[in-house]
Chains A and B, each alone.
Chain A
Amino acid sequence: METEVLIIGGGATGTGIARDLALRGIDCILIDRKDINAGASGANHGLLHSGARYVFKDGRTAMECHRENRLLKKLAPHCIEDTGGLFVAVAQDDDNYIADFPALCSKFGIPVTALSPDEALEKEPCLATHLKAAFEVEDAVVDPFMLSLDNAADAQANGATILRNVRLAGFEIEKGRIRVARVEDVRRGKTFSIKALEFVNATGAWADQVAAMAGADITMSYSKGSLLVTQNRINDRVVNRLRQASDADILVPGGTVSIIGTTSVEIDNLDDIRPTTGEVDAIIREGADMVPGLGDARYIRAYAGVRPLVRTPGGKGRNISRNYTLKAHREDDIDNLVTITGGKLTTFRLMAEKTSDIVAGRLKNTNPCLTAQQPLPPSPKGEWTEPGKAPRVWMKNPERRDTLICECEMVSEYMVDEIVRSLKQEGALPTLEEVGRRSRIGKGPCQGTFCSFRLAAYLYRQGELFGDQGMDQVRAFVNERWKGFRPLVRDKELMRVELQEAFLCALFGMEEL
């Protein structure tokens, strides 16, 4: 294959770059070794920051968040629930910190409104009763899956190619230029080459590994952040704890659930990223100080992502800048590679713009960036990831002969057909994992116990699965959900696990295969 630009990594940044370049009329291919948002872009709060969180440490990031927040609300409203947000302080929080907050916000142009504790409680009855301080900010909630899928779709509509399950195996370098990337189609076990003029490394936490393949050096540290999903939605607005960043500071509502997090645990390697019981306990304990209901809430899932943080001298843990890093690799003697990593979901568009500026400049393309003006068109690809959409569609069509595959999230055969159609259009195989990522299947309280089988049975019936493929896929699907449920099992949850094991092991014997 041959193209002008090869983008490696299909997270928010990579898909954003693909769209940005495509809109400038630049031909590009995006590859991801797994799928859109399989990394940190799919394992975060889904918070569209107002910027207020960064006023203490990183004014530039704060201002960028503020600008991008307003821009995205205007250009991609279908991906955003404009909830607004609160910053609140409880009894044990630092008075000086609280006192500095409004002034710092106005210094960086972040709008805040002070509220009395009573006003805050009236807006958000879930809050602790003895608040020390409360402020209203412009936080919102963004669906990261829909955002990236829509960016990818618009990139494709403008000529870009998106290849999922394609892994970078290495570069062929000649005289300081990458000539060809050797890649492997993971599903089909096929190796092939992609020739390009420019290469973009947008692989997040894996950026150092990809740079190393080109002989370039980036020192990164990995910070694991774990989050918990509640069974019911607890809050209307985003709620932030007004203190120095710590565990369980942010409670973000989303559809029918709320998400509380995060932790920050330095890790050495990127294999086997999973939340632990210790993190779960810490999040619940700390979260309950701010929102007491979190103490005895029912949780349906824990998950963890890795923040890709580029080391600067003296930085450690939460003190490493949350700003993005953009490297043109001139000092590494590689002329046609750009690495973009770090940063926030909120500023993904800006990161894509800055990266694309360098790439376009090198290609002598003078077309301007259009992503700050052109609205992001909604695509059918991301439509079933939206919590609450499937039930709405289902309820509107009571007469339709349509069977619910996932009863928790009300995903029906009709919706699965749509997703399968769209996956096949992209040349992807409609596996349980892929359909799961494009929908809410398995994300409700049963966490895949029943729906994984129903989905497999349906895909077999439709002729999409053959032989014993389904069994392996159900096992993988169940284990992926288990990863997020295992650290949550405390008491009541044991009943569900026992039931699941009774079916999958005692009846089906799936552990014997």
Chain B
Amino acid sequence: MTATVKQDGTRVDCQVAVIGAGMAGMAAAIFAADHGLSVVQVGKASETSFSSGCLDLFSCIPGRKPDKFEDPFKGIDALISRQPDHPYARVSRDEIVQGFEMFTGFMNRAGIQYHCTSRTNQHIITPAGTLKSTWCVPSAMIAGTRALAERKQILIVDIRGLKGFGARQMAQSLRATHPCLSSVTVEFPGREKAGDLMCERLTWDLETPDVLSRFIKVLRPHTGGYDAVGLPAILGVYRFEELRDKIARALGTEVFEIPTLAPSVTGMRTKEAFLGQLSQTSVRHFPVSVASVRTDEAGGFRFDVSEGMNTLDIHAEHLVLATGRFMGRGLGVNPDGTVEERLFDLPVVQPGHRSDWFKKDFFNAEGHPINRSGINTDKVFRPLGADGNIYHPNLYAAGSILAHQDWKREKSGSGISIATAYKAVSHLAKSLETS
């Protein structure tokens, strides 16, 4: 049975409202729709455009001497024995796996296929010339991951005018461990006279068959003898597998993408695929932000969203708060210097005085104290109020807004988002069933 969002004039009624359209918001909307619930999702997803396209689960416990793990589940076990407050301590391995399966299954139907091996993290090359450890690698990048692992001959190509993406930088930086990497710089066809090139622009260019074949011609003299060719992520927002296969066939090598700095095509691709597939479901999506939420007479939530000229009055029985941290505006700072949660003014685990928020070394291995501030919840991710009890029985929180984690150093961003959204929505669905 699938419930549908009801609209009567400007009043909209749903069982679940998901606030936020980043990774946690996307996951929560997918899971709630999968449970057959009526869902409204609100949020701009601006952060998703920065995404590398990979899904991280876990690879590092930050500390004076960081503990790195090839097996993310071993890492998570070690993590929760040391940090029982961590969001991962509230989800089981099965819940993580089921959440990832459901999320990647949805994205797969949307045209993005992920590859993961069940027990170990994989590696991708980054534009900084480092190897990033991650769990699920999108198919656009997988050939690079495999070629690296198998020590094959890899050519990295960069494009004159496309800044912040240096093939020679990557090959040189990884030379000590991966002497199989080489680099070359090429001109992009039709853009030989341009100063600044943008990934998005080149992506649209490549959609033209003529540009694509000229690009292949530019590449061909350089790629002989290589097993795999790495390109900046510019192979189309919607048809990237097709473009990649065309280039690969023409060159007779494997072809893979390397993520770029913001705004990235990989991020755009994730967002577009999600929104495209979401439109096949009953979820109503509003790409706007929410200024405030209040509770309604029936014990649910009410808020306004604008749609064109209209202001809709949304009534939701349950609400999943997936508003993120400072970039997503889920958290902010009061004039008195305390960190606040912006929609409900929920109690926030404080990071101490402003002078202690950050370490002197930006790259400090223990991480900055402010990264661990956020929302405290119960076992099913319902935020706690000032009295230590749940703030509202129908309010849930998921993703990076949660306290006691440092996703950037743990490499756990997508994992925390997907796992906590999965657990929260499962509980929410069950409580709807029993009522």
- Seen from chain A, the residues whose Cβ lies within 8 Å of a Cβ on chain B are 272, 274, 276-278, 400-405, 412, 450, 453-454, 456-458, 460-461, 463, 465-468, 470-471, 474-475, 478-479, 482-483, 486-487, 489-491, 494-495, 497-513
Q: B193 at interface (Cβ–Cβ under 8 A)? A: yes
When A494-B333, A498-B326, A508-B126 are in contact, do A467 and B354 touch as well, CB less than 8 Å? no
Q: B393 at interface (Cβ–Cβ under 8 A)? A: no
Q: B64 at interface (Cβ–Cβ under 8 A)? A: no
Tell me whether A276 and B363 are in contact (CB under 8 A).
no
Tell me whether B360 and A486 are in contact (CB under 8 A).
yes
Given contacts A461-B169, A471-B129, 18 further A-B contacts (CB under 8 A): A401-B195, A403-B161, A403-B163, A405-B163, A457-B127, A458-B166, A460-B172, A467-B175, A468-B172, A471-B130, A478-B362, A486-B358, A489-B358, A504-B362, A506-B411, A507-B126, A508-B132, A510-B130
Q: A509 — which chain B residues lie within 8 A by C-beta? A: 126, 130-133, 411
Q: B196 at interface (Cβ–Cβ under 8 A)? A: yes
Q: A474 — which chain B residues lie within 8 A by C-beta? A: 128
Q: A412 — which chain B residues lie within 8 A by C-beta? A: 195
How many whole Å from A418's CB to the nearest CB in chain B?
A: 16
Interface residues of B in 60-102 (CB under 8 A from A): 60, 66, 68
Residue of A nearest to B326 (CB): A494
Tell me whether A506 and B407 are in contact (CB under 8 A).
yes
Tell me whether A277 and B355 are in contact (CB under 8 A).
yes
Interface of A is mostly: helix
Q: B289 at interface (Cβ–Cβ under 8 A)? A: no
Q: B13 at interface (Cβ–Cβ under 8 A)? A: no
Q: A506 — which chain B residues lie within 8 A by C-beta? A: 56, 407-409, 411, 413
Q: B194 at interface (Cβ–Cβ under 8 A)? A: yes
Q: A278 — which chain B residues lie within 8 A by C-beta? A: 355
Tell me whether B172 and A490 are in contact (CB under 8 A).
no
Contact of A497 among B197, B355, B358, B407 (CB under 8 A): B358
Closest 6 CB pairs of A and B: A457-B166, A460-B169, A494-B326, A491-B333, A506-B408, A508-B128
Contact of B409 among A272, A401, A460, A511 (CB under 8 A): A511
Q: A274 — which chain B residues lie within 8 A by C-beta? A: 360
Q: B126 — which chain A residues lie within 8 A by C-beta? A: 507-509
Q: A402 — which chain B residues lie within 8 A by C-beta? A: 195
Tell me whether A460 and B168 are in contact (CB under 8 A).
yes
Q: B185 at interface (Cβ–Cβ under 8 A)? A: yes
Q: Could you tell me the distance between the alpha carbons of A467 and B126 in the complex, rounded to whole angstroms? A: 15
Tell me whether A470 and B333 are in contact (CB under 8 A).
no
Q: A456 — which chain B residues lie within 8 A by C-beta? A: 166, 169
Tell me whether B409 and A505 are in contact (CB under 8 A).
yes
How many whole Å from A415's CB to the nearest CB in chain B?
A: 12
Q: B52 at interface (Cβ–Cβ under 8 A)? A: yes
Q: Could you tell me the distance between the alpha carbons of A468 and B354 in the complex, rounded to whole angstroms? A: 35
Contact of A513 among B130, B169, B172, B195 (CB under 8 A): B130
When A450-B261, A460-B166, A505-B363 are in contact, do A471 and B128 touch as well, CB less than 8 Å? yes
Tell me whether A479 and B196 are in contact (CB under 8 A).
no
8 CB < 8 A contacts A-B: A405-B163, A412-B195, A461-B185, A465-B169, A475-B363, A482-B362, A491-B333, A502-B327
Tell me whether B158 and A461 are in contact (CB under 8 A).
yes
Q: A405 — which chain B residues lie within 8 A by C-beta? A: 163
Q: Could you tell me the distance between the alpha carbons of A262 and B355 in the complex, rounded to whole angstroms? A: 19
Q: A503 — which chain B residues lie within 8 A by C-beta? A: 50, 261-262
Q: Could you tell me the distance between the alpha carbons of A404 and B195 in the complex, rounded to whole angstroms? A: 8
When A277-B354, A470-B129, A503-B262 are in contact, do A511 and B364 touch as well, CB less than 8 Å? yes
Q: B188 at interface (Cβ–Cβ under 8 A)? A: no
- Seen from chain B, the residues whose Cβ lies within 8 Å of a Cβ on chain A are 50, 52, 56, 60, 66, 68, 126-133, 158, 160-161, 163-169, 172-173, 175-176, 185, 192-197, 259, 261-262, 325-327, 332-333, 337, 354-355, 357-358, 360-365, 368, 370-371, 407-409, 411, 413
Q: Could you tell me the distance between the alpha carbons of A340 and B293 in the complex, rounded to whole angstroms? A: 66
How many whole Å from A256's CB to the nearest CB in chain B?
A: 21
Residue of B nearest to A460 (CB): B169
Residue of A nearest to B171 (CB): A460
Q: Could you tell me the distance between the alpha carbons of A278 and B354 in the complex, rounded to whole angstroms? A: 10
Q: Could you tell me the distance between the alpha carbons of A450 and B164 in the complex, rounded to whole angstroms? A: 7
Q: Could you tell me the distance between the alpha carbons of A450 and B361 in the complex, rounded to whole angstroms? A: 18
Q: Could you tell me the distance between the alpha carbons of A474 and B325 in the complex, rounded to whole angstroms? A: 26
Most chain B beta-carbon neighbours within 10 Å: one of A450, A475, A507: A507
How many whole Å from A281's CB to the nearest CB in chain B?
A: 9
How many whole Å from A472's CB to the nearest CB in chain B?
A: 10
Tell me whether A400 and B195 are in contact (CB under 8 A).
yes
Tell me whether B158 and A467 are in contact (CB under 8 A).
no
Residue of A nearest to B191 (CB): A401
Q: Could you tell me the distance between the alpha carbons of A467 and B173 in the complex, rounded to whole angstroms? A: 5
Q: A468 — which chain B residues lie within 8 A by C-beta? A: 129, 172-173, 175-176
Q: Could you tell me the distance between the alpha carbons of A498 and B358 in the complex, rounded to whole angstroms? A: 11
Tell me whether B128 and A404 are in contact (CB under 8 A).
no
When A401-B193, A460-B168, A489-B358 are in contact, do A510 and B363 touch as well, CB less than 8 Å? yes
How many whole Å from A485's CB to the nearest CB in chain B?
A: 9
Q: B333 — which chain A residues lie within 8 A by C-beta? A: 490-491, 494
Q: Could you tell me the distance between the alpha carbons of A489 and B365 in the complex, rounded to whole angstroms? A: 20
Tell me whether A479 and B194 are in contact (CB under 8 A).
no
Q: B327 — which chain A residues lie within 8 A by C-beta? A: 495, 498-499, 502
How many whole Å from A20's CB to the nearest CB in chain B?
A: 39
Tell me whether B164 and A403 are in contact (CB under 8 A).
no
Q: A454 — which chain B residues lie within 8 A by C-beta? A: 163-164
Tell me whether A504 and B163 are in contact (CB under 8 A).
no
Tell me whether A479 and B361 are in contact (CB under 8 A).
yes
Q: B192 — which chain A residues lie within 8 A by C-beta? A: 401
How many whole Å from A469's CB to the nearest CB in chain B?
A: 8
Q: Could you tell me the distance between the alpha carbons of A149 and B195 in the complex, rounded to whole angstroms? A: 30
Q: B261 — which chain A residues lie within 8 A by C-beta? A: 450, 453, 503
Q: Could you tell me the distance between the alpha carbons of A512 and B132 in the complex, rounded to whole angstroms? A: 10
Q: A511 — which chain B residues lie within 8 A by C-beta? A: 66, 363-365, 409
Q: B332 — which chain A residues lie within 8 A by C-beta? A: 491
Residue of A nearest to B325 (CB): A498
Residue of B nearest to A501 (CB): B408
Q: B368 — which chain A residues lie within 8 A by C-beta? A: 501
Residue of A nearest to B364 (CB): A511
Most chain B beta-carbon neighbours within 10 Å: one of A272, A500, A501: A501
Contact of A499 among B50, B131, B163 (CB under 8 A): B50
Q: A465 — which chain B residues lie within 8 A by C-beta? A: 169, 172
Residue of A nearest to B126 (CB): A508
Q: Could you tell me the distance between the alpha carbons of A471 and B325 in the complex, rounded to whole angstroms? A: 28
Q: Could you tell me the distance between the alpha carbons of A332 and B361 in the complex, rounded to whole angstroms? A: 42
Tell me whether A276 and B60 are in contact (CB under 8 A).
no
How many whole Å from B399's CB to the nearest CB in chain A?
A: 14
Q: A513 — which chain B residues lie within 8 A by C-beta? A: 130
When A461-B158, A465-B169, A468-B172 are in contact, do A510 and B409 touch as well, CB less than 8 Å? no
When A461-B158, A505-B408, A509-B130 are in contact, do A470 and B326 touch as well, CB less than 8 Å? no
